[in-house]
A and B are shown apart, each in its own frame.
Chain A
Amino acid sequence: MMGVMFRHLRRHTSLLGVLTMGVLLPACSGGEIVDFESPDPSGGDTGGSAASFGGSGTGGTAGAPPQGVTGGTGAVPSGNGGTGPNGGTVGSGGASPPPNGGSAGTDPSPPTGYLPARIRRLSNAEYDASIRALFGLDGSPSSEFDFPPDARQDGFSLNDAQRVDTGVARQLAASAEAIAAQVKARALEIAPCSDPNPGEACARAFIESFGRRVYRRPLTTAEIDGPDPNDGLLDLYRLGAEGATYADGIELVVRAMLQSAGFLYLTELGDGTAAPGSVVSLTPDEIAASLSFIVTGAPPDDALLAAAAAGELATPEGRAREVERLLAPNGPARDRMVRVISEWLGIDRIEKTSKDSNVYPGFDAVREPLRRESQDFVTHVLWGSTATISELLAADFTYSEGPLPQPLAQYYGVGSASGRIPLANRRGILNQGAFLSVHAHAHESAPVLRGVAVARRVLCEPVPSPTELNIVVVPPVPDPTKTTRERFAIHATDPDCQGCHRVIDSLGFSFEQYDGMGQFRTHENNSPVDSSVTIDFGKPYDGSYANSDELAVAIATMPEVRACFARHLFRASAGRSDAVARAVEEQFLSAWSKLPEADQSNILKTLIAFAEHPLFIQRMVTP
C-alpha cells in the first residue's frame, strides 16, 4: 500500500525547476506533517561583502531595495536639503553620516539595506517585564489575563508583526484596569504629593515623570494636555478625580497609560523630520529602549537612560559599553538570553509539548524539569562558563541550579546532584531532552523534524518547505514491525524524495538513539536502532558519525555553525526576516565576520557586535 502511494505521488513543481534554485536537491514528501517553518533562504556566508558599513550600499546580492523610494513624486516634500539623521532631538552629533548622503529624491539609485522606520508592539514577555519594572509588581499579567500568544516570525516572539486586535485590546484593558486599581491603593507612594490636599499640580508632575518611563521618552504637550477633551492624560486625571479623590484620578491615568500607543509600541522612527526616501537615526530614547528590550527583554534602567541622555548611545562604543554592562553575570539579561536560545532551537515549545501517555507515560513528570534544565544549562554556559556556541552544542555535561529533579535524574541515568552533571552519552543542547522531545511526535521519534531543525537552525542549510515546492506530504504509515528509520528509509529509495531527504535524514537519523521523548534507547520494535550517518553534502561537516553526539561535537566549532547562530541572533533581535531585513543581516554578518575568532563564537560578544553596528540605529523612511 505504502509503495503504491509513493509511486503515485506527483509533484506540482518539476524537479528540474527545483534544481535550478541552486540549493541542495529539494523535492518530495517531507514525511512529517508538523508545520515546517519558513525556509532559511540565506545559504551560509555567501554574499556577505555586498555592502560595507556606511558605504554607498549598492549591495549586489544583498536584497531588495527599500519599498517605495520614488524619488520626487511631487506629493512628498523632498526638498529638506541635507536633512541628516541627527536633525532635531537626536542632537548628539556622534552618529555616522547617512550612507546615502544628500537629500531624498535626488539619487536615482535607491539605497539598500536599511530596516524601515517602524513600530513594533511589545511581546507578552516584554509587556510583563515593563509592568514589573514600572510598578515593582511580581508575576505575569499577560498570563493572568490570558493574553493571546505572541505572533511569531521565524520562530521569534520579538518581531514587528504583533498587532492589537479586539481580543488583545480586551485583555489589555482588563489588565490595565486591574493594575490601576492596585495603584489606587498606593497612589501616594507611586504619585507622591507634598500638598496635604493633593491635586492637579501633583498629578501633572506624576504624569510627566511616570509618563516618561511608561512611554520611554518625555511626553509631548498634546499627550499631557490634549487639544480636545479626553485627549490628554491630565484630562483623564480630572475625569477620574471629579467628585472623587486624587487616587481615583491617578488610577484612571495609569489605566489609560497602560493601554496607550506610547506604551504598547516601541518606535523606531527618529525625530520625524526626515523625508521619505532618506535615512534617519533613532532618537537616543529609541536606541535605549531598543537596546534594552533586545538585551534584557525589559525597559531601560536608569543608567541606560542616563547614557542616552548624554548622547552616548549614538556611538558604537557607547552602545557596546551599555550592552556589556547589561550582560553582566547575574544581571538583567538572563531571561531574555535564555528565551533567544530557546526560540532559536524551538525548545521554548517544551511547555506545550505532550506525548501519548500510552507510549511515554513518564513524559509529564519530566516536562517541567526539562524546561528548567534548558534554562539552567544555557545560563551556566553564558555566565558560568565560556559563553560559546561550541560549548552550548558540545558540552559533555548538563547543569542544574538545584538538585536535579528525580524524574530527570532517572531519565538521564545520573544522580540527583546539582551544578555541573557529567552526561556520558549526551553532548550539548541538541542531545538534551527538551530539544529531542519538542522535535518528535507524540508517539515516536521524528527524524525529519530533528533533521530539519538542525539543518535550518544550526547549519543554515536551506531546506525548502513542502509549501514552497508545492508538493504533497505523505508520511509513512505506522508499522509496529519496523524501526522509525526503516519506515522513513523510503525517502532514500524514491528518487524524488532523495533531494531534500539526503540532507534532512542524514542529520535526523543520527538522533535515532533517542526515542520520542528523548530517552536513550538501543532497540525499537525489537530491532536495534541505527544512529550512524554519513553526510556528503560537499560541506565542511561531511563525514561519518556514529550518532548525534559525534555530530554535535564535530559541528560545534565550525565557522559555518557560529555564523548560522549569528544570523539567528540577528533575526531574534531585529524582529524582521523579510528581504529588506536580509540585506541588513548580510551587512551585520560581514561586520561580525571581522571579529577575532574567539569573539565570533562567543554568544554575548555576538550580541554586542549587533548593537555596535551602525545600522542598529539607522532606518529608512518609507512613504
Chain B
Amino acid sequence: MKRSSRRTFLRAVGAGFAALPCFRLVENSFAQSMGETLPLKFVTIYHPHGIAAEHWVRRSTDTETNFDLRFENSSLLPFDDPGTYGKSFKDKIIVIEGIDLISSANGHDTAGTILTGSRIGGELKPKNISLDQFLAVEKGLGNATPVTSVALAVGTKELKSGEALSYGPGGEPLSKIIDPVKAYELLLGGASTGGGGMPDPDAERKRRLGQGVLDFIRADVNRLRSRLASAEREKLDQHLSALSDLEKRLSGPVAGGGDGGGAVSCNAKAPSSFPKLERYNGGEPYFDAITDAHIDVLAQALACDVTRFATLFLNDLSYDGNPLGLPADNHGSVAHTYSASPVGNNGNPVGPGDPSTWLPLAKFNRYSYSKVARFMQRLDELGVLDSTLIYVSSDMGNPALHSTRNVPTVLAGGANGKFRMGRRIKLVPDCPESNLWCSENDAVFQGVTNNHLLISIANAFGVEINQFGDQPDPKLNTGPLSELA
C-alpha cells in the first residue's frame, strides 16, 4: 500500500485514531476501498500423512473450473462448506494434482523439501534456504514488518527435515514456536495501548539499554566474523539477521509495522496456556486447540501487518480419545494401512485397493483442510484473505508407500490476483503409459516438481528467478508452473 494513501487516511481520521486498537485493520480496509492492494503475504501449511487420493482427486465429471467438492466423503469439503465457515472458498483455491517432492528421502523426512525444493542430505537436512526465508530475509521482503517471518508448529520443536518447513542459508532448520502463548507474545503481545502519546521514561530507558546490548552483540559478532573463512561466515550471517529481527522489536510497538508505522494496536485475545505442548509428552490431547490458537493468532498478525511470512507445521492427532474417532495410533493404523487403488498409487496398476482403508485417512485429511478453511475464514473476516497466498502440502502422496510423488497440493487465498484461483489443475502423470514404473532419474520421467511452484510463488512476489532448489537435473528445478498463470 502506498504511503500517500495512508497519509490520506490519517488526515481523514486524525492522528489520535491511530492509537486505537486495530487501527491497521481499519486503515487496510480504507486502502482497499481506495482500490489499492495490500502487500502480499505468504503462509505455508504442512499437514501429515499424505492423502487418500480416492477422496481427493477430481471426479470424472469435473473440469478445471467446474468441480464439486461436496461429493461423499470428500476430504476437500471444508473449502465449500458455508454452513461451517461462513462462505464457500471454492473460488479461492487451486487444487493441484500431480506435484512431486523430489527429496530422494523417505516420505517422513521430506517436509523439508516443501519450501526448499531440495533433496534431503544424509544429516536429514535440505541443502538450501527455504522460499519463505529467501523472500523474507534474503530478498528483504520481510524487512518492512516488525517480525520478518515466523515459524509455528504443533507438537514438535525438532529440527529434522521431517519436522520443519523453514530453513536458513545452507539448509539449516529454523527453530519453531510450538506454544500459542509464545506466538501471541511475539506477534501480538506488547502491542501499544495507545495512551495519548505521553513518553514513558521507563520504557525509553529499557529501549535504550536493549539497543545498546544489540549494538554490542552485533559488533562482537562482526569482530569474530572478520576472523573466519567464508564457509564459516554463513553461521554468523544468520546470527546477524537474527539480531536485526530482535532490533525491530525494540524500535516500537509490535503491531502494525508495514509502511505506515505509527502507534498501532491489534490487540487480540491472548490464547490460554496449555498444560502440555509436545508430542510424546502428553501434548496430543491439546493439539486441536493449539492448532486453532496458532491459526487465530497468525491470522490476526497478518491482518495487522506484523509479519508477511509464516509457516505452520500441523501434527498428527493420534492419542486416546481422538476427537475424530480415529485409532489411537493414527499413524500406524490409518496412514500405514491405506491400501490404494491406482489413483492413489502414482497411477500404477495395483488392483482395486481396499476402500475401507481410504475412509479413515480421508477423514483425517478433511480435518487437516478444515484448519486451512478456518484460517481462510479468519483472514477473510479481517479483510486480508485476498492479499494472502497459502501453500498447503503434505510430505507424501500415498502414505503407506511413503511416496513423495503426487503430493496433495492446494494453493489458497486471493494471492492479490497473481494466480487464477477457483480451479482444479491436473498435471501430467509422472510416467508415460509405456513405462509406468519410471523413476525421476529416468529420461522419460515427466513429473512436475514443487520447485516450479516455488518459482511461481517467488515471481508472484516480484522476485524474478527461474531456478530454485537443489536438484541435479535442471528440468526438475527450472521454470515456473505455467498452469498457474
Contacts and interface: CB of A to CB of B under 8 A. Distances in A.
Partners in one complex: yes
Interface of A: 1, 4-5, 8, 10-13, 30, 33-39, 67-68, 116-119, 121, 146, 148-149, 151-154, 161, 163-170, 173, 220, 222-223, 226, 228-233, 235-236, 239-240, 252, 255-256, 259-262, 265, 267, 269, 272, 276, 352-354, 356-358, 441-443, 465-468, 470, 472-475, 477-478, 577, 621-623
Given A231-B215, A236-B216, A261-B220, A148 B175 contact: yes
B217 A163 contact: no
Given A10-B437, A269-B227, A352 B281 contact: yes
Contacts of B175: 148, 165-168
25 contacts: A4-B350, A5-B400, A5-B401, A8-B350, A67-B231, A117-B229, A148-B175, A149-B157, A152-B160, A154-B123, A168-B175, A169-B243, A223-B220, A236-B212, A236-B213, A265-B224, A356-B329, A442-B332, A443-B329, A466-B105, A467-B105, A473-B402, A621-B229, A622-B230, A623-B230
Interface stretch (B24-32, B234-242, B360-368, B451-459): B234-242
B37 interface: no
B388 interface: no
A356 B122 contact: no
B162 interface: yes
Contacts of B328: 356-358
Interface residues of B, number: 82
A223 B217 CA distance: 10
Interface string B258-295: 00000000000000000000101100000000000000
Contacts of B401: 5, 472-474
A467 B223 contact: no
Interface of B: 104-109, 120-124, 148-149, 151, 157-160, 162, 168, 172-177, 179, 182, 186, 208-209, 211-213, 215-217, 219-221, 223-225, 227-232, 235-236, 238-239, 241-243, 245-246, 278, 280-281, 320, 328-329, 331-333, 336-337, 339, 348, 350-351, 354, 400-403, 437, 439-441
A358 B330 CA distance: 13
A349 to B, nearest CB: 9
A119 B232 contact: yes
B222 to A, nearest CB: 8
B208 A239 contact: yes
A232 B216 contact: yes
A230 B219 contact: yes
B229 A256 contact: no
Contacts of B148: 166
A170 B246 contact: yes
A8 B348 contact: yes
A12 B439 contact: yes
Contact of A261 (B182, B221, B437): B221
Contact of A119 (B177, B211, B228, B337): B228
A161 to B, nearest CB: 7
A583 B174 CA distance: 30
Contacts of B439: 10-12, 470
A32 to B, nearest CB: 9
Nearest to B172: A163
A496 B318 CA distance: 33
A467 B215 contact: no
Contacts of B246: 166, 169-170, 173
B316 to A, nearest CB: 11
Contacts of A239: 208-209, 212
